[in-house]
Structure 1
Amino acid sequence: MRKNIHPEYKGLKIKIRNDEFSTMSTLKSGEILMDVDFREHPAWNKNVINMVNQSNKNVSDFNKKFAGLSFGSKK
């Protein structure tokens, strides 16, 4: 196996608000400051249901508004 071809694998600190996590990575800086807390993001909590329903409503409204519009496609 060839030597010295892989990046250095070292400790990495991840900071989210007042919390700090440690892991390992090849990232050169050694630290990541997160501006979005994944624990509060809608994709990881119960609010995602409301977002999906709202999104479906928006798609439905769009389809109703532009139902007769074709972009050159054959029907």
Structure 2
Amino acid sequence: MNIFYTVLYYFQKRGFEVCRRIAERMGIRTRVVRTTFIYLTFVTLGFGFALYLFMAFWLRIKDLLYTKRTSVFDL
């Protein structure tokens, strides 16, 4: 049962970051984005979840390509 909670904690920690970043970008509450993905998943029989995974992948690639540097000496 401990492994179940470890996996659950990992997905909650990583998964909610996608919703948080989308909400910050759009200027709305994170809760609204989460519930929208949940409703979209139920209504379209999984398309919302696929969209969520695609956006998580896209944000991860963007983070890897664009790094913020604080000064010119960080090169």
TM-score by length of 1: 0.33
Counting helix residues as a fraction of each chain, which structure ranks higher? 2
Counting strand residues as a fraction of each chain, which structure ranks higher? 1
